[in-house]
Amino acid sequence: MGELTSKLTALPGGVMTDEVGVITGDLELRTRYDDDGTLTTEVRYDGAEEWYGLTGGDCKLYDERDHETVHTVLRNVLHRAPIETG
């Protein structure tokens, strides 16, 4: 099993979790790849102990080498700057 973590700051709308709903602010993202190809995604407040499941984030990977790419994409989507309109 492989595990990756990254820090991020959630967009103003926050990040939806399975257990507690939306969380905002400085967060950590953790992805874990199991031997059966399951990728589990979780977030927590930066420095906290309790992890929450990222709603809709779990998936099945068919190649372990994709773990880092999927983790990076998730982190970038959750951390990106809001779209400016005008």
What pLDDT is attached to residue 85?
66
This prediction's pTM: 0.88
Q: Which two tokens stand for residue 47?
A: 């420095």
Question: For residue 10, which of 1, 2, 21, 19 has the smallest C-alpha distance?
Answer: 21
pLDDT tens across 38-75, in order? 999 999 999 999 999 999 999 999 999 999 999 999 99
pLDDT tens across 13-24, in order? 899 999 999 999
- Helix H or strand E encompassing 66: helix 66-79
Question: For residue 18, which of 44, 45, 55 has the smallest C-alpha distance?
Answer: 55
